[in-house]
Copies of this chain bind each other. A is one copy, B any other.
Amino acid sequence: MHSFNELVKDFAARFDVAHFPTSPATLYEPGNYFLRLGGKRIRPVMCLMGNELFDEILPDAYELATAIELFHNFTLVHDDIMDAAPLRRGMETVHKKYGDSVALLCGDVMMIRAYDYLNKIHTQYLQRIMYLFNKTAREVCEGQQLDMDFEKRNDVQLEEYLHMISLKTSVLLAASLQMGSILGGASEGNCKHIYQFGLNLGIAFQIQDDYLDAFGDPEKFGKDVGGDIRQNKKTFLLLHALEVADAAQKVEIEKLMTENPADKVSKMLAIFKACNVDIWANALKEKYLQTALQHLEDIAVTSTRKAPLKELAAFLIQREH
C-alpha cells in the first residue's frame, strides 16, 4: 500500500510529460503551459488509491488518472474564461495570456485528449468507466452553470448550494475513487460505498474551506481570510446565517453586503458568531466526515487496505477535537 504523498510524487513524475504534439504551437503550447503550472493532483491520486484499495495499482490506472487530471484541467481553463480570472496558481491564466478564443480551443482539445487516455483502458472495463466519466463530466458542467446562476440570485437556499457544490467539486472526487475501484475489480456494493466516501469527504472539505475563509488563522490558511465575505460569496456560512438570523441581524447582513464598509469582515464575523454559525459549520463538517468514514468502514476489504484513505481524510479535514 502507498500513502497519499507517495502517490502524489509518483503520479506527478509520470504526468510531467508533453501531452500535446508541438504543432500547431498556437493551439498546443497554451495547453502545455497550463499543465506545467502544476497543482495538487488530488483527483488522479484518488483514482490510484481507489485502485489500490482492491488490487495492485494497474498500468491502466495511470492512464485513467491522466484522463481525470486532463479533464480537471480542461474545466479550470474554461472556468477561468467564464470567471474572467487573471491568475491561476500565481501565474497568468490561459485566456489572459493567449486570449479567449485560444483558451476556449485549448480547453476543448484538452478534454479530447482526456478521452484519448481513457480509450487506453482495457475493453473489459472501458464502457463502465466511461459511463461514469461522462456522467460526472456533465454534472461538473451543471455545477458550474448553477454557480453562475446563483451569482445573479439573492434567494439561494442552503440545500441548493449543497447540491451545486456537490456537482461542481465533490462528484469528481467521488468518481475518481470509484473509477479506480472499478479497475481494481470492486463489486457494485463496494463501488457505491467508495463513491459516497468521496462525495461526503468532498462536501466536508468544502464546508471547511468556507469556514477557514472566515474563521481561519491567516498564517496557517495562506489565503486572504475574509475574502468570501468581502466578495459577498454565497457560502455555507452566509446561507446558514441568513436562515437563522433574527430580523435585525438580517437587516444588518444585507446592509453590510450592499454598503461594503471598511469593517465589513469583522462585523459579519460578529453576526456569524452571534448566530453560532461557526459551531454549526464545524458540526456539519463533522457530520459529513463521519458519513464518509462510515462508508469507508462498510467497504468489504481488510482495514489495512483502507489505512491510506483514512489518512487522506485526516489530512484533508482538520478536526477541532
Q: Give a binary string over A89-125; 1 marks a CB under 8 Å from any B CB, 0 the rest.
A: 0000000000011101101110111011001000100
What is the minimal beta-carbon distance from A259 to any residue of chain B, in angstroms?
Answer: 28
- Say yes or no: A104-B119 contact (C-beta < 8 A), given A141-B27, A146-B24: no
Which secondary structure dominates where chain A touches chain B? Answer: helix
What is the minimal beta-carbon distance from A312 to any residue of chain B, in angstroms?
Answer: 28
What is the minimal beta-carbon distance from A100 to any residue of chain B, in angstroms?
Answer: 8
What is the minimal beta-carbon distance from A65 to any residue of chain B, in angstroms?
Answer: 18
What is the minimal beta-carbon distance from A79 to any residue of chain B, in angstroms?
Answer: 9
| Contact partner, A78, options B27, B108, B131, Cβ 8 Å | B108
A148 at the interface (CB under 8 A from B): yes
Which residue of B has the minimal Cβ distance to A128? B119
Taking a contact as CB atoms under 8 Å apart, the answer to whether A105 and B144 are in contact is: yes
Taking a contact as CB atoms under 8 Å apart, the answer to whether B119 and A130 are in contact is: yes
Taking a contact as CB atoms under 8 Å apart, the answer to whether B101 and A141 are in contact is: no
Taking a contact as CB atoms under 8 Å apart, the answer to whether A145 and B78 are in contact is: no
Cα–Cα, bound, A112→B134 (Å): 6
What is the minimal beta-carbon distance from A108 to any residue of chain B, in angstroms?
Answer: 6
Taking a contact as CB atoms under 8 Å apart, the answer to whether B105 and A108 are in contact is: no
- Say yes or no: A119-B131 contact (C-beta < 8 A), given A24-B145, A24-B149, A146-B24: yes
Taking a contact as CB atoms under 8 Å apart, the answer to whether B142 and A27 are in contact is: yes
Specify which chain B residues have a CB less than 8 angstroms from the CB of A26 in the assembled complex. 145-146, 148-149
**Copies of this chain in the oligomer:** 2
A81 at the interface (CB under 8 A from B): yes
Specify which chain B residues have a CB less than 8 angstroms from the CB of A237 in the assembled complex. none
Taking a contact as CB atoms under 8 Å apart, the answer to whether B102 and A104 are in contact is: no
What is the minimal beta-carbon distance from A160 to any residue of chain B, in angstroms?
Answer: 11
A3 at the interface (CB under 8 A from B): no
Taking a contact as CB atoms under 8 Å apart, the answer to whether B148 and A101 are in contact is: yes
Specify which chain B residues have a CB less than 8 angstroms from the CB of A78 in the assembled complex. 104-105, 108
Specify which chain B residues have a CB less than 8 angstroms from the CB of A316 in the assembled complex. none
Cα–Cα, bound, A26→B100 (Å): 22
What is the minimal beta-carbon distance from A309 to any residue of chain B, in angstroms?
Answer: 28
Apart from the given pairs A111-B111, A123-B123, 13 other A-B contacts in the complex at a CB distance below 8 Å: A24-B142, A24-B146, A27-B142, A78-B104, A78-B108, A101-B148, A105-B141, A108-B111, A109-B142, A112-B138, A116-B134, A123-B127, A126-B126
- Residues of A participating in the B interface, judged by any CB pair closer than 8 Å: 24, 26-27, 78, 81-82, 100-102, 104-105, 107-109, 111-113, 115-116, 119, 123, 126-127, 130-131, 134, 137-138, 141-142, 144-146, 148-149
Query: Can you identify 27 A-B contacts, CB atoms within 8 angstroms?
Result: A24-B145, A24-B149, A26-B149, A27-B141, A27-B142, A27-B145, A78-B105, A81-B104, A82-B104, A82-B105, A100-B100, A102-B148, A104-B104, A105-B141, A105-B144, A108-B111, A109-B141, A112-B134, A113-B138, A115-B115, A116-B131, A116-B134, A119-B131, A119-B134, A123-B123, A123-B126, A126-B126
